[in-house]
Amino acid sequence: MTIFGEAHTEDVVLNIWTNKSVQLLLPCDPIQEITQRARALVFEAIEHGWSGPPYDPFALARIKHIELRAASDVQDARTVGVGRNRFAIEYNPSAPQARIRYSICHEIAHTFFPDCLERVRNRELREHRSGDSWQLEMLCNIAAAELVMPIGTFEKVLSINPSMTELLAARDQFGVSTEAILLRFVKLTSIPYLVFATHRDVEGVRIEYSVPSRTCQRSLRSGSRLGKGTVLSHCVSGGGLLKNNEIWPRLGHVRVECLGLPPTTMIISRGLLG
């Protein structure tokens, strides 16, 4: 599973932006600017009859006059120039549908940057990123979430205190991955939630990352380990949803709801965080 870093970026200080493409958005806050550009495109598309969920990224690309090409030799997706101010997105048709949808939206986001035509833009997996390319990829991930899960359509989900079961139903409705729906939810909700990913190995359960909602005051350190008594020790890929009330270091009493996904376990935890 791809691990995204954008969920912690709201606290990035503007003067650390070093990526040349991102610097073209300055002096605006790049996060706010890319979010506004994505929402403006959503508004434009809805005016053209775009509807959902699920929201069709192929239709969105056509509205923007972006050519789409299936290309089995492309690892994920990439944006190429095909003329003056014209783009084509090449994507791997054998990838899971949720990944294709998100990847196309990620590539559409690349076209928001003024220098997109200067070179081929590949969607980079975290393990392949180098230097400050993470800044550009992170902003494109933020925009992709705005495009595939428009904020106005989340009102029903945000109006309740959802369980993992309800969030998985929203995942299927929007046609996105489990990780995408959880990260989108935790960014928008005003309820204290903590979304995190773990990996289980011979030494136990290790925290990969954690993302708190804006009203959640605590998180878990990446690389920290949990005791063997947690329900996560029994969470396996394809094994279904597990739930338990537990006491965790730094968090106290929590309600754990977890689902096993290869090769990482995605967890949503809620409860008394004190």
CATH number for the domain spanning 213: value is 3.30.450.130
Examine the fold and report which residue of 128, 148, 168 is the final residue of a domain before the chain moves on. Answer: 148
pLDDT at residue 215 greater than cutoff 60: yes
In sequence order, which residues have a C-beta less than 8 Å from that of residue 46 and are 6 or more positions away? none
Q: Are residues 107 and 179 in the same domain?
A: no
Cβ atoms of residues 164 and 268 within 8 Å: yes
- The verdict on residue 1 lying in a domain is no
**Once rounded to an integer, what is the mean pLDDT over residues 163-191?**
88
Contacts within 8 Å (CB) and 24+ apart, 86-90:
87/111, 87/116, 87/117, 89/61
Cβ atoms of residues 147 and 109 within 8 Å: yes
Q: Are residues 250 and 129 in the same domain?
A: no
Q: Are residues 12 and 55 in the same domain?
A: yes
Q: Are residues 26 and 139 in the same domain?
A: yes
Q: What is the pTM of this model?
A: 0.75
Q: Would you tell me how many other CB atoms lie within 10 Å of the CB of residue 31?
A: 20
Q: Residues 76-90: pLDDT tens digits?
A: 899 988 877 789 999
- What was the pLDDT predicted at 5? 28
Domain hosting 81: range is 6-148
Q: What percent of the chain stands above pLDDT 70?
A: 85
- The verdict on residue 240 lying in a domain is yes
Residue 269 dihedral angles phi and psi, to the nearest 5°: -125, 135
Examine the fold and report which residue of 148, 166, 195 is the final residue of a domain before the chain moves on. Answer: 148
Q: How many domains does the chain have?
A: 2
Please name the residue that has the structure tokens 């095909």.
Answer: 82
Q: Are residues 90 and 223 in the same domain?
A: no
